[in-house]
Amino acid sequence: MLELQGATVRYGEGAPALDGLDLTAEAGSITAVVGGNGAGKTTLMRTLSGVLGHHRGRLVGGEVTFEGRSLAGVRAEAIVRRGIAHIPEGRRVFTDLTVEENLVAGAATRRGRSDGQISRIYDMFPVLAERRRQRAVLLSGGEQQMLAIGRGLMSEPILLLLDEPTLGLAPKIVAQIGEIVQHIREAGTSVLLVEQNAAMALAIADQGFVLGQGRVVLGGSAAALRATNEVQQMYLGGSAGDDEQRLDRHDGVLERWSA
């Protein structure tokens, strides 16, 4: 469904933020992308949603295709119409607008107003239904994140891009967001989930990629990634024990890229 081959992105003249990135995401799945600060996660999302130019970034090499068609040079609005919705870092909502006005603003980018979609979103997020007439500034951080996700869903995307939806949220809310992401996938929307919270992301994902310095350093099934020592030590705060044995058990699932 989504494929990047050798994608290379630069901001200005510095080192590339994506440096020959190879990554795929399958229809109907949750794909996790984890990695430390500056690894290129947000740049990946911007590349897919057509907003690189807003940040003075450029795709300077490689191929990016969604459903068999290139995304290179396609404007953000056209990408939304093709079925990709991007929820950026920092849960940006229009704080002066009400919850419902925020949702309606999300629909304006694709198929016009969709009352049916609003009610589906209220079913998914009862807390938004209760607060539909309140201004978004009054919502908690977790509720604002739910509103940002709900607004993205208003365009009825095929693929939802979520950039660190759990950042700064309490563990209980993190778990709720994880459940919501699974629900979204079950309702038929594929999800590309960028997270520094690798434990949560790899617990709900089907497959995952570890990014470092703009490249994929490790990729495979989420289960195989969870079991590797590297991921355990870097992101999950523990040791997987016998790495070789675990790799055997997931024989062929895990692929290593040379860094």
Ligand X SMILES: Nc1ncnc2c1ncn2[C@@H]1O[C@H](COP(=O)(O)OP(=O)(O)OP(=O)(O)O)[C@@H](O)[C@H]1O
Chain contacts with Mg ion (rule: CB under 5 A): 41-42
**Can you tell me which of 35, 62, 152, 208 binds ligand X, judged by CB under 6 A?**
35
Nearer to ligand X, 56 or 172 (CB): 56
From the CB of 5, what's the least distance to ligand X, in Å? 19
Quick one: which of 230, 79, 51 has its CA closest to 155?
79
- Cβ(224)–Cβ(250) under 8 Å? yes
Quick one: which of 34, 81, 62 has its CA closest to 199?
34
- Cβ(144)–Cβ(93) under 8 Å? yes
From the CB of 97, what's the least distance to ligand X, in Å? 26
40: partner contacted, choices Mg ion, ligand X, none (Cβ within 5-8 A by kind): ligand X
Taking CB under 6 A as the binding criterion, the range among 35-43, 125-133, 139-147, 184-192 that sits at the site for ligand X is: 35-43
Give the nearest residue (CB) to Mg ion: 42
Q: With binding defined as CB under 6 A, does residue 38 bind ligand X? A: yes
* Other residues' Cβ atoms within 10 Å of the Cβ of residue 212: 17
Span 53-82, contacts to ligand X by CB under 6 A = 55-56
User: Would you call 143 exposed, middle or buried from its count of C-beta atoms within 10 A (0-12, 13-18, 19+)?
Assistant: buried
Q: With binding defined as CB under 6 A, does residue 11 bind ligand X? A: yes
Taking CB under 6 A as the binding criterion, the range among 34-42, 60-68, 131-139, 199-207 that sits at the site for ligand X is: 34-42
Q: With binding defined as CB under 6 A, does residue 43 bind ligand X? A: yes
Quick one: which of 106, 161, 167 has its CA closest to 142?
167
Give the Cα separation of 131 and 140 in Å (integer). Answer: 11
- Cβ(84)–Cβ(156) under 8 Å? no
17: partner contacted, choices Mg ion, ligand X, none (Cβ within 5-8 A by kind): ligand X
Q: With binding defined as CB under 6 A, does residue 258 bind ligand X? A: no
Give the Cα separation of 112 and 137 in Å (integer). Answer: 25
Give the Cα separation of 119 and 201 in Å (integer). Answer: 27
Binding track over 183-222 against ligand X, x by CB under 6 A: -------------x--------------------------
| Contact positions vs ligand X (CB under 6 A) | 11-12, 17, 35, 37-43, 55-56, 196
